[in-house]
Amino acid sequence: MDSILFDSSEKVTLIGAAAQPRGLLDMALERAPRLVAADGGADRALEAGRAPEAVIGDLDSATSVDHWRAQGIAVHRIAEQETTDLEKCLYSLRAPLILGCGFLGERTDHALAAMSALVAYRARPVILLGEQDLVFHCPERLVLDLPEGLPVSFFPLAPVTGLHSSGLVWGVAGLGLAPGGRIGTSNRAAGGRVEAGFDGPGVLVILPLQALDAAIAALSIPAG
């Protein structure tokens, strides 16, 4: 599970099989030009007129493998059934940043599994894009440049406590967050730089899609 099948020095767009808004893939590819598909996401890409360089997954939902190969697309089948196709891609990809399309739509269980994967594979810089929002795992040092009033949500998938914050209407320093307990949704940027940190992993940051460039910049800041 640690073999790298696709190694890129450029940012990568990863496309899944779920329906996605028109233009979302183009938005991602403008920022992450190399395209990889998770299993049946290859068909979504081809429908949009984009051919992925590679397909990674267990291929149990794919009906077009021969068609993909005929177009020169590398197909990597990973048979293990302990992880989702998104997770298979995350442990098989190496890139400075991964933008994921087609993982947050249609089925709630698939969307929850995708968000859980952000925590499990938090060493990978990944942003998942939805119809209106984006989500990523909060880095150790979160720095965002956001306009005043923009919604900022912190959703805990593990118990954590805020260590510090600035630039938020409601600070999170000293605040305990936990699944089934207090959650940090519907905060807002005060205008300018937003900073926050927590005492452990497990917090998802959710922002409007318009903040994509700010999120990319946040995940490009070295830890420490």
Model pLDDT, residue 224? 47
Model pLDDT, residue 83? 94
Query: 138: closest CA among 199, 207, 203?
Result: 203
Asked if 98 and 209 sit in the same domain, the reply is no
Asked if 23 and 74 sit in the same domain, the reply is yes
Asked if 124 and 161 sit in the same domain, the reply is no
CATH number at residue 191: 2.60.120
The tally of domains found in the chain comes to: 2
Question: Which of these three, 80, 112, 131, is where a domain ends?
Answer: 131
- Domain membership flag for residue 136: no
Report the alpha-carbon distance of residue 123 to residue 143 in Å, rounded.
17
Question: Which of these three, 131, 161, 196, is where a domain ends?
Answer: 131
Q: Which residues contact 103 (CB under 8 A, 6 or more apart)?
A: 16, 18, 38, 86, 110, 111, 114, 128
Asked if 125 and 155 sit in the same domain, the reply is no
Report the alpha-carbon distance of residue 51 to residue 73 in Å, rounded.
8
Report the alpha-carbon distance of residue 175 to residue 198 in Å, rounded.
9
Pair 55, 37: CB distance under 8 Å: yes
Which position has the token pair 């954590």?
A: 160
Asked if 27 and 117 sit in the same domain, the reply is yes
- Domain membership flag for residue 224: no
User: Residue 169 sits in which domain range?
Assistant: 142-219
pLDDT tens, residue order, the chain (224 aa): 558 999 999 999 999 998 888 899 999 999 999 999 999 899 999 999 999 999 999 987 666 788 888 888 999 999 888 999 999 999 999 999 999 999 998 789 999 999 999 999 999 999 999 999 999 999 999 999 999 999 999 999 999 999 999 999 999 999 999 999 999 999 999 988 999 999 999 999 999 999 999 999 999 876 54
- Domain membership flag for residue 178: yes
Model pLDDT, residue 20? 87
Residue 144 tokens, joined: 């965002």
